Amino acid sequence: MSSSTQAKPLDGTGWIGKVLAGLILGATLAIGLMGVLGLLFHADAQLKTATSQILRWFPGPAWGLVVAFSFLFRSPRQAWLALAVANAGVWGLFFLLHGITA
């Protein structure tokens, strides 16, 4: 294979773009996932239920994992694109479930 068709190795270039993608789009992804889980669990406003406790503590670790895994993308552009597509899917699912359950 020629060098132009080989996959680019992971390196430290573009780390600021990857971090920003993880921080910004990771936050919206974690909140969207929390919404989807809330709809699937039929969560209510009772703070002492197990469901509400799970949903309360879910976004932080999920957001942290997205930020951490954003370094595994080969470029900042790929990180932004993949996380944007993931956000679109999660938020689309949220609005679909919200329309069904409403």
What does the alpha-carbon distance between residue 30 and residue 64 come to, in Å, rounded to a whole number?
9
CA-wise closest residue to 20 among 95, 76, 62: 76
Region of 9 please: left (phi>0), alpha (psi -120 to 50) or beta.
Answer: beta
pLDDT tens-place values along the chain, 102 residues long: 555 567 777 677 889 999 999 999 999 999 999 999 989 988 877 888 888 888 889 999 999 999 999 999 999 999 999 999 999 999 999 999 999 976
Q: Are 64 and 29 in contact (CB under 8 A)?
A: no
Q: Are 44 and 52 in contact (CB under 8 A)?
A: yes
Tell me, what's the pLDDT at 24?
97
Tokens of 84: 């944007």
pTM: 0.84
What does the alpha-carbon distance between residue 67 and residue 80 come to, in Å, rounded to a whole number?
12
